[in-house]
Amino acid sequence: MRRLLFFVVLLGISFIALVAAANYGWGPLVITRADEQKIILLLNQARWVTEPGLSARVPLLMTEETYDRRWLHLNTEPETMQTKDGEQLTVDNYAMWRIEDPIRFKRGFPGGMVDAEKRLDRVVRDDVREVIGRHTLSEVLRAERDNIMKQITEKTRANAAELGLGIGDVRISRTELPEETLDSVFARMRTERTRLAKKNRAEGDLEARRIRAKANAEARVIVAEAHRDEQIARGIGEAEATRIYAESYGAHPEFYGFMRSLEAYQKTIGSNTTLVLSPRAEFFQFFESSAPRENGAAPAPAKPPAK
């Protein structure tokens, strides 16, 4: 029993010692954390990549190298590039990357992370310059900015895969015009805005004239139709008035003659009017004495004055 207990204790101590040695890169065990990836080297030649957890190796003959499994940030220096329309543009960008294939990374970059970042920086710069060179200044600054960054990311991802690197995203963080070209670019922008303003004003004037001409034509049609309706209504009214006059004359000719005479007096005789006519003229028949006639007969009906 004591021997068994001693054996178990010895085995536990040995395991703890192996784990402790593995933490320092010694012994037959290799400990790989979740944020790490390790390659096992045999005589300095990469053989395989360990998974997170415990792995075994042959001590002395095999060594290990550790690489970061997480996404890394690469920020490039601003660089002046030329757009499709010949404009100079200062571009600042960054890339999110990580090591996808540690064995290929080891073979491609013997100097490690420093060499990898320098190479990746050149790849990103070349891809950004090439994609921006296919687009105009306005597209880079506004119209196609998101699409341009997608094109850069896809192109850089394909180029970096050959180096064992994975690209998460490439972003343009800042775009500026160089100091020496600001004045000329602003002058061209002002000229373009002036041209567009004149064009819009000319189109507006043309549209205004068209609207006024259409409104005037419609107004003339409306006035003509109103005048036509007026003439029709006037004719109907005059015909109705004539009919009423005719009926009145037929029913009461004496009264009709009297009313027409009064209308004639009103139109003819004013405040300063002098008439030289015989008192017995037919025009003055209603100025005669209103005494009753003999036998109570009514005065003779007057003839209506001529129009």
Question: What φ, ψ does residue 257 adopt, rounded to 5°?
Answer: -65, -40
Alpha-carbon distance values, 58 to 25, 40, 62 (Å): 12, 10, 6
Q: Is 78 helix (H, G, I), strand (E, B) or coil?
A: coil
Question: What φ, ψ does residue 63 adopt, rounded to 5°?
Answer: -125, 175
Cβ atoms 118, 77 nearer than 8 A = no
Answer yes or no: is 196 within a domain.
no
Q: Do residue 53 and residue 92 come from a single domain?
A: no
Q: Do residue 106 and residue 152 come from a single domain?
A: yes
Q: Residue 19 sits in which domain range?
A: 2-68
Is the four-CA dihedral 175, 180, 182, 187 of positive or negative sign? negative
Instruction: Provide the domain count of the chain.
Output: 3
Q: Do residue 76 and residue 161 come from a single domain?
A: yes
Q: Do residue 96 and residue 147 come from a single domain?
A: yes
Answer yes or no: is 18 within a domain.
yes
Q: Is 66 helix (H, G, I), strand (E, B) or coil?
A: strand
What is d(CA 50, CA 67) in angstroms, rounded to the nearest whole number?
11
Answer yes or no: is 192 within a domain.
no
Q: Do residue 95 and residue 160 come from a single domain?
A: yes
Answer yes or no: is 224 within a domain.
no
Each residue's pLDDT, cut to its tens digit, for the chain (307 residues) gives 666 665 555 555 655 555 555 555 555 666 777 888 888 777 777 777 777 766 766 666 777 777 888 899 998 888 888 888 887 888 888 999 998 888 888 888 888 888 999 999 999 999 999 999 988 888 888 878 889 899 999 999 999 988 889 999 998 888 877 776 667 777 777 888 999 999 999 999 999 999 999 999 999 999 999 999 999 999 999 888 888 877 777 777 777 777 777 777 777 776 676 766 666 666 666 665 444 444 444 444 444 444 4
Is the four-CA dihedral 87, 89, 95, 100 of positive or negative sign? positive
Q: Which residues pair with 137 in a beta bridge?
A: none
Alpha-carbon distance values, 28 to 21, 34, 57 (Å): 9, 20, 5
Answer yes or no: is 146 within a domain.
yes
Q: Is 81 helix (H, G, I), strand (E, B) or coil?
A: strand
For the entire predicted model, the pTM comes to 0.51
